[in-house]
Structure 1
Amino acid sequence: MAGRRLWRRGKAVRDGEKREMSKSFPKFVSDIQASVDEKLKKLKKPESELLKTIQSYYDEVLEIYRDAYKKVIEKTVTYSNILSEIKSAYENAIEVRNERITQFIAQDRIFGITARKKDIDANIKSLEKERKTLKQEKLELSAKISALSKEIEKMKDEKFSEHLELMKERDARYNLYWENVELQQKLQELQSAGVSTAHDARADPVLLRIALDRCREQLSITQKDLKKMTDEYAETVPRREYDALQATLCDDARALQTMREQFSALQEKHKKILACKNSLEEELTETKERVSELERAGTPRPQWDVCGDFIGGGRARWRQLARGLSSREALLALLKELGPAATTQHLEHFDGLGTDPVIPPYLRYEGQVRNLRLSRREVSVIINDIWLGKIEHGRGMSMQDYVTKYFEDRYQQPSVRAEWAYNLCSGAEQMLDEPQVKLFWGILHGHLSEDIYLAYRTQWYTFRDNLYKQSRDGENINMDEFERATKATFPLKSEVDIKNIIDVVRKQLKMKIVNVTVNLDKLFQENDEGFDRCELARELFRQRQVAQDKYVREVLAELGGRRVGPIADHQLKRAFAIVDPAIDHVRMEYNIRWVFSQRDTTSTSTCPLPLRTVAMRLASGNIERMGARYRGTNRRTLYK
């Protein structure tokens, strides 16, 4: 316990010394303090409570502070005498303490353990009283130190003001000195001119001696003050220079922060350029492979002018049809002219199909129907109008029944209804190369699910809304933000698909290479033909169909391929769960109901279907992947 008290007392002493040293300004004191701290860190603190061990440790600490005290005496000129006296008094006290300790040890040996114990108890009581006294003194000294600190700060301010006054006084003395010199010069001029007498020119020797002694006293006082001020303000920096250095530091810090931000921006730009470079290299490799394949398997462009000899109107009409078309477009135009739809284009009337129940309701008519020769735009406008009405009407009616209702609501006469229905079907047959017309035609005849168009439409408007949310001004968005929004909307699309979407956007808006701003109003501008007429919508639909075909192929491969027998619902569920681990229960039940044509959700048993039928149903429905196929070690839900 005594060892712990000595340890705490030593620590308190060191802390007090550090606080006192931290308040001094000269540099040599800071250097001595740093040296003392380094030496104290090297000492190993005693872990034992034996007084002998603790005493040896504090002897080493005392030796360190003794050396530091010598350095302080050597460096301090003003207070060196009093410090030397303090040191000698402290050394004498230490010697007396050592002699007393020696005497106490000798007394312990003479009187034995009992006397020693009594002395120890008495010492403990006295030390306890002394501790309380010292604690009280410590509190008083702390209050006094705080008061003295305030007084020191106040004196520093006063000293600075006195220093300014001394500077002003010095300037005034300089002025007086020069005025005195001028007056002496004038006096010499007057003396040389003979104005004053010889007696006035002579000075009083006694007065001069008194003035000389007075000047010597003032000079000695001034030298002492100058030496004292030199010692005190040796490490002081002028306020003007400090403010200038502080301003320079702030400017340098701002410049450094700006350069760091620029460096970070350049790093991000460098990463994007590297990614773009890698993408371009991959695209270049693919393009080279395609070019080599085309060079190997390509054929020269055929002589399309010969086709004019086999169509109505001759070569003049063929040149008009094939002007500005590519080889593929020219081939499609030729097939339209030579196909069954070509014969109906030049007919004046259509023959009605009759009123047999097998005929679709909107085509049940007997007699001839006038050929209106609808243009491609008119057919697209009618199809878009049908879709808008069907969405408002809901899904309670099939597409055939709604088309019948659509024409009945608009045209009261059966002949007029038949004209528009037959002309719409004729125009749609000629426009099956258009994706939106082909989708409408398949849904109208029941070959495709209506959910394909609804999901496609929802995807389009979700994509548009997300892009407008990312736009800062509600109209424009840069290409980087467009790419991020596209990836967020379509997380399952590959980098190639994202790049194709960006290329289609540039092509649709006719953007230059240096232009990186996308105008959303122009990109999503719709007309009477519907949203799916723009190039971006066609690209999204194409990628959607490609992704669905790939998804269906993976499911069929998981089922076992062509040699597998009839497929039951639990087998199809298992294949969906393996290929698409992220699929949920609702989506799973929707896919199963579509494939097995279950309208009643309460039914729990279905008949197995051949693989060919399952493949056709999967290809004709709204079958989408919900997530990536592989998810590491995540748990998979199995459907049985």
Structure 2
Amino acid sequence: MANPETRYYSFSKPRPRTRSSGGTTEAKGVEKRKLSQKRRTLPLQLSIGGHLSPWPTYTSGQTILHKRKPCSEDCRKRANSWQQQPLGTSKPRYLEQLENYLRKELLLLDLGTDSAQELRLQPYREIFEFFIQDFKTYKPLLSSIKNAYEVMLAHQREKIRALEPLKAKIITMNEDCSERILAMRAEERYEISQLKKEKMNLLKLIDKKNEEKISLQSEVAKLRKSLAEEYLRYLTERDARKILIGDLNELRYQREDMSLAQSPGVWGEDPVKLTLALKMTRQDLTRTQMELNTMKANFGDMVPRRDFEMLEKTNTDLQEQLESLRADYEEVRKEHELLLQLHMSTLKERDQFHFELQEIQRTSTPRPDWSKCESVIAGGPERWFMLAEGKNSDQLVDVLLEEIGNALLREKDFFPGLGFGDSIPAFLRFDGPVENKKPTKKEVVHLLEDAWKERLAEEQKESFPDFFFNFLERRFGVNDAMAWAYTIFENIKLFRSSEVMRHFYAVLIGKRKESVYVSQKETMSQLLKEMINVDTQKEGLITMEQLSTILKNTFPLKKEEQIQELMETAGWSPDISSTEVLNYRILFTEDEEGQSEPFVQKLWEQYDNEKDAYLKELKQDLGLDQTDEVSLLKMRVALTNIDPSLDKQVLSTYLSQAFQLPVAELPLEEDEKQQEEIVVKLETALDRLRMADTKRVGPPREPEQAS
């Protein structure tokens, strides 16, 4: 068969047809048969002299042909023949008929269905097939182009189908979240109503106590009044008794005188004797009268012992009742004040909880059902249980994001280069696509551990990012160093649950000084060394009591609660005896993915909490807002106040870090004027101290010193 580029073709009108929206294999076969039939009805017709027309560029054909590089003498002859032949201004018939055919086919499509865009491509496919079949010379190239586009379209369709279940799942999760929000709101309304009822009960109790207090006060007033009346009654009785005694004595004297006067033997007595007896009797009377007057003067206001004892007993009982009432009153008063304070604090907590509730309702979502992730995570329920064990919701979100991000990261073959901007780290400055080496998480962890070992082995004068890139060049060569830099950076940015990756990423981007990591590693090494020294039998076992002693000696500034937290993460509980042994080497082990044991994680957590508390105390001592500026002098005084044990070297290191000045350029302590001139924002200074290895050197101030 002759080359289609050197002969004429006739073009027949294509037959109209209908399209189906299906995409099955059978429908595709039918379309191919129709295509072959249409192929037979669409022969090409070339335009001028058996050659392809260069329309619409034929008018400037000479210029174009001069710019093209001829492939042979035959091509030049053909070009000259085109220039010599008269050219018309109309399109080639083959092109016009193809355009008409395409226009009619597009009009026949039903564009109202979901597969309209897919059907719209079919006429273009057929036109392209005509070109492939008729232009034999370019058939391999055109076929490869068509196949490449078809493969890409099929791949995109598969992705769309794969994302359809995810869309339905998102809708379902949205409905579940809405239901949980409504449930939380109902539960919170119920709690608020319960708190209101409890408040009313407390108010009723306070009213009841106040009534009891008033009744007790009235009873005390009545008892005092009755005591005064009883006292007046006893005074009256005392006076009446005195009068009665005087009357009785007078009657007794009269009776004696009458008995003496009536006695017959009195007249027979000796007058001298009687006179003497009378004299002695009068003397006795005078003495008795004097004694009586003395007794009256001394004991006139006295009461009988029986009445005194009765009154004393009554008074004692009343005093006891009064003291008891006073104690009850004082207790009720204190309870009333406590209830008032509790009521005020409850009001504040209620307002705070209400505000937090509104914030939570506005910003947060209900607690998710993590069991749904079992069917999504690779590895099934067993792997998800292993990943989720002992983690809270925030950590589970990180795990889920890591799994999703890892799957997406594994699909990438190339990373886009970030360019050469100043904000781009030096080890990522590259323009163009960068290959994704796709290492496993275990390989990345081992690579980072090797980098840390090399960094700590010798004193490195270069910055950490430069060291990292030079390390990759030494390990993988200059050509692959950039690809590995991008690959490792994307991995450590994704896997935040791995301690090795998290700390390496923080140091690499400048969020944390490498001295922090080095200091913590040295602390853990020292702690392990102390345990090895205590283990005299070299069996890897120590008792819980020995562990507690080692922790207190190694961390003398930690509180008792922090020591107990470390003990509990090591396996101690109140039910375990202090002589129980522990395999201390397990506390410092790491798995293949760089995940350490809870004991080491708790040490890191306490380190961060202690640093935050230290900086918070520093901010309180300064008494400034975040946006205020702090001078070097104020910072020096505040650091000395909150940590009196700071020596000059450590203090200079902290000031150098906070104000970003070399230690040698810091002004002298006596030069207060120059220290006042060096200022920086408090927020910036605290962030810089948070990046470095900032910690308390000695015990905090005593309350007397602080005041």
Q: TM-score, normalised by structure 1?
A: 0.47
